[in-house]
Structures are given as structure tokens and as C-alpha cells.
Structure 1
């Protein structure tokens, strides 16, 4: 059983490699985890090409949804992108927030930060910045963000409860998040769950859907809404790295589902259970 720090180092090393790859290479694998498929499969990611602000150079094909499409970003908003990679979602968020808005991308892989900064500088995006840091301890002040987005990142973090706690700290009262992630329904086979490559590939680091939604609620968020859900199918040639033929058949016939979900939630204007004066909370 690997420790949290060992898993983090695994992800850091793998995504340092991914930062040097192109989109086609990343999409031929599970969330860019390696060249593990004999065909090019767009296993996780959705199509960004029709979204305003999309920049192909910043799209490494690592996402599992379109959180910025659902994030209700308004002109002038301060937006934080968790696990910002090469800048794809940050640049789409910038197009929504406008020149008077501000976008901060946070990633703990130095190679990704360097690539994102180069992408931003090449396009003259002065209101987009990228900070290296751990999303369990974000390098930003409390109550600073109107909106937080993230795309297929929290499943890579062992302490997901800590990340939701940080999101609550960083959001302004009344702010909200839209996060795309991988969740499970049912238990993965042990060989998949213990596979380091599948952890970096966003699958074995995922937790149960009900547990994921419960973490959001227990950290104080309101109006938790499932904005989108789609099944993820892992091709046989990837499964064959971890399961024999009978194991693959049993996995497919079982009740385990792997899903991409996009979840929305809000930080209440006031702490739960508080009221300033009679009638003010109506």
C-alpha cells in the first residue's frame, strides 16, 4: 500500500512526462498515463474545440469533462483552475471572465507550470497566472475566488476531503465550483486498484460516487448538483495489462461502473445555522 506522499510523487513524475507529450499521445492512454493502448482512444476527454477561448496548444487531452462550460463564469470573475496543466481550462475561463476578470491556475508539476506560462505569454494573457502548489494547500488567500473549476484532477489526490476543505476556504461566500472528475459505482478489481499506472491514469484513484458527493456536503457546500454524467469504458487492451481473460470478462459482467461526472456546488453566503437579525435570512 503506497503512502499519500508516494502517490503524489508518482503523479508528479508521470505528469512531468505528460507535459512533454502531445495531445494525440495523451489521448491514446488513460488520462495520459502512458502508451498503454494499441489504438487511439479518446477514453476520458470531451471536445473543447467549440468553446470560446480554446487554444489547441494548451489542450493535452487530459480532462474527463467540460467544467468551464458549466461553471457559470461571469465577466469580472476571479476564477481558479485546480490542476491547470498546460492552461486549457484557464484560457477558456479567461474568455468567459473577460479582460476585467482574473484567472489563477494551480498545478504542482513544475513542467506543467512552465508550459502553461509559455502558452499564456505567447498569447499576451496578462490576466492569467499560474502558481505551483498543492491543491490541498492552495497558494492563495481565503475568500478570493468567485468560481473554481477543475478537470479530472481530484481523483489523483489521496486526501480529497482536504481539497474540498480548501475549496471552501478559497471561495468567496456565495461563490461556487464546477468540477469534472472520475467516480466509481461498485468496487474495482484489486489488480486495477493497486496498479500505479492506473492511479496516474485517473481510474484507481477514484472513489465511490456517493462518497464523493458526501464529501462535498460534509464540507459545508450547498445546492450540490450533478451537471453531467457519462460512463467511461476502458478498452480491453488496457485492461489486459492488469487482468487475464477471465478477469476482464468478470469485470465487464460485474456491477462496477466508472463514470465521468461534473458536479456543481455553492459556498453559502452565511455559515450554516447563523442569522444576523429577525427576517434577514428569509
Structure 2
């Protein structure tokens, strides 16, 4: 059963168009990390302006990373410790996300971890340190430029127990029952088929495996114009679901011990996601956890 999504409720765009819009956005973010890129101005992905070859303004990157702070300051704001930030390759921190899933995953030595929407690999490198050399972390991202960025970051570090695979989170390139823990950071809301994401997560988890997700959820009805807007969806706004909807999706996929904990403090940075929108009135980051039955 497919959960309710903006693509289901609005016929102005297709799931393919939604994925393409999201992919284009994060290709642009990845381009910002390329030292010789002449397509962007500024020092990081947050709130920067894309220009074309004629230097005319095309689009301002907003949402998910719209504050004017550095990526390090952003990471501290959403829940990472300074020591964690400094322990990973600097270009892995792209200033994306809305929480710290590795802080709620309770990772143990030797575990196999899967990161849905791994971006530059920030959470993957943190998880790799926690699971140790006998563990493994696999990052999945549908944006080739992000996979390239993450692999470059890995080659510049001494991390050997992490790998990055190109793929969609609705169709994971991972074998059945091979993963102990799934993490994700502000990516689920981008999917046009969230039910399929959770069913795939359930498939690849070992019995007793768990999910630990940081994502945005709705606390009030989202204006129709945002829900039906592709750019709003790509900015981690238009595709957000209500808490009860996320609970239902997890339950229908087979998960147990489901907990969704809104974090009121995150309204502070969500408020910065748009100067012309009071998003903190309808949107908040949450810790989302659940477990696959042991037998």
C-alpha cells in the first residue's frame, strides 16, 4: 500500500519529476564542494546563489540548509558535538539535514549500518567510527555527484569500513536481511513513495534490526501551494508528513516499538529556512525510531 504523498494528491507533477527536481537540487549542492566550480558563489551550500554562464542569477538554494552560518555551526545547531564534526573529512559536512541520527542509533561495534540519502558521507563517517573495523557502513544516494563527492572524501580519509552506492531509497541496492541499523537525515520527506522506503528498509534489516531517523514532520496543515510545489518538496518542506502518517507507514511495513519524538528546539533553525515563510509554525524536526521483530 502506497502512503499518501504530494505526488499522490496532486496531478501537476509525476513521481519521476519529483525525483528529478530533488536530484537536480542536490547535484547543485554537491557542485558547491568542488574547488574549481565556477557555477556557484560563496563558501558553502547554505543560502548560496546559482548563476549561469552569463552571471545572471538563476536560483537561490533554500530549505534544508538555509541559514547563513558555516557548515560547522549548522552541525552544532542540529545536534552534533564539535569533536564529531572535526573527526570527519571537512567536505563531508555539506550543511544539510535536521538532526543527528547517529546520536539516537545506539550503534555498537561490529554492526552493519545503512544510511539512506548519504550525501557527502557525513553521518557515514561518524557511524563507521562507532561500529569499528569489524563493522560496515553503506551509504545510498541517488545523486551521482553526491556519490562522487562521498567517495572522494573517503579516499582522503583513513576510513576503510564505509562504502557508497548509487541507488534510490525506494529500491535499495542491498541484499535481504544484511543490515543491523538504518539511519537517515532529513531525506525521507523527499521521497514520493514513503511506504516503499519503509518496506525496503524492513526487507534489508536483519531480524531485530532497527531504524534511527532524523526528519521533519508536520505539526499543522501545510499550505496547499507548498505541498504542490516541486521546489518546496526539494527544500525538505512540501513532502513532510504528519506524525500519525509516519507512524502508520512504519506500522504497515511491519515495524514495532515505533517512537516519534518532535524536538521543539529545532524550530529555531527551521525558522531560518525561509524569510517569507513561518515554517516553524507547521514544521519541526523529530527523532523517528522503530524495530523489526526478532523472529
Superposed displacement of residue 66, structure 1: 0.4
Q: Under a length normalisation based on structure 1, what TM-score does the superposition of the two structures give?
A: 0.82
Count of matched residue pairs? 256
- The residue that corresponds to 2:84 in the other structure is 51
Contact 1:225–1:264 under 8 Å retained in 2: yes
- The residue that corresponds to 1:146 in the other structure is 180
Superposed displacement of residue 36, structure 1: 4.7
Matches within 5 A, 1:27-106: 27-28=46-47, 34-36=60-62, 40=68, 42=74, 45-51=78-84, 53-106=87-140
> 2: CA distance between counterparts of 1:8 and 1:48?
32
- The residue that corresponds to 1:14 in the other structure is 25
Gap runs ≥5 in structure 2: 1-11, 34-41, 49-58
> 2: CA distance between counterparts of 1:70 and 1:103?
16
Change (3 A) 1:109 1:50: same
Note if 1:207 corresponds to 2:232.
no
> 1: CA distance between counterparts of 2:97 and 2:67?
19
Contact 2:89–2:156 under 8 Å retained in 1: no
Change (3 A) 1:48 1:236: closer
> Which one has a bigger Cα radius of gyration?
1
Moved more, 45-54 or 118-127: 45-54
Contact 2:47–2:62 under 8 Å retained in 1: yes
Superposed displacement of residue 49, structure 1: 2.8
- The residue that corresponds to 1:135 in the other structure is 169
Runs (4+) of structure 1 exceeding 6 A deviation are none
In the TM superposition, what whole-angstrom CA distance separates every residue of 1:45-96 from its partner, at most 9, and x where no partner exists? 4435333844322010111000011101100000011100000000000010
Gap runs ≥5 in structure 1: 271-282
